[in-house]
Amino acid sequence: MAHAKPRLSPFLLGEKHRSPEKRDIAPTLPDLLGQAPLRMDANTHARMTRGKLQPEARIDLHGLTLAEAHPELIRFILNAHSAGLRLVLVITGKGKRRDDTGPIPQRMGALRHQVPQWLHLPPLGPAVLQVSEAHLKHGGGGAYYVYLRRR
């Protein structure tokens, strides 16, 4: 039984592989937040993301563990919503680069990745209208603008 030889494109020894597309399995966090549908006024959102609106309250979760940060975030958001606030700033920090010794890559910044999920789940989901990454003057990638619904 004769085997057909596979056809290979010509190449030179030591040449780099040319792949037409970059394969990125997980989109970045700003990409995920940017793909979310806009549920608030477009002009207000544009002013907010440009840093023109001042947050009415802020919480700094930087340095807390996930177990400590979750109840603090719930308390803060629900109190701000009941007080009638609309725009709050949640500071998470960007996270630390850790030694990646295992076969599974680890994301940088556990709080930074977990907070947007918490904000869309109960009991916070009904109070939150929009979550966006903060402007550089309010913390950039290490903070989120949370726009709350009216009471």
Local confidence band at 134 (pLDDT 50, 70, 90 cut-offs): very high
DSSP state of 110: H
User: Does the structure show a pLDDT above 80 at 151?
Assistant: yes
In 10 A of CB 112, how many CB atoms?
Answer: 21
**Which residues does residue 89 pair with via DSSP β-bridges, in sequence order?**
58, 145
Instruction: Give the residue from 106, 131, 134 showing the smallest Cα distance to 121.
Output: 131
Report which residue type is found at 81: H
Mean pLDDT, the chain, integer? 89
Average pLDDT over residues 99-107: 71
Higher pLDDT, 91 or 110: 91
Average pLDDT over residues 144-151: 95
Core vs surface per residue 4-28: b (16+ CB within 10 A) or e: eeeeeeeeeeeeeeeeeeeeeeeee
Residue 39 CA to residue 72 CA, distance in Å, equals 25
Instruction: Give the residue from 30, 63, 26, 28 showing the smallest Cα distance to 144.
Output: 30
58 in helix, strand or coil?
strand
Local confidence band at 15 (pLDDT 50, 70, 90 cut-offs): confident
Within 13 Å of residue 133, how many CA atoms lie on the same side as its CB?
Answer: 17
> In this predicted structure, what is the pLDDT of residue 115?
96
> In this predicted structure, what is the pLDDT of residue 16?
77
> In this predicted structure, what is the pLDDT of residue 35?
87
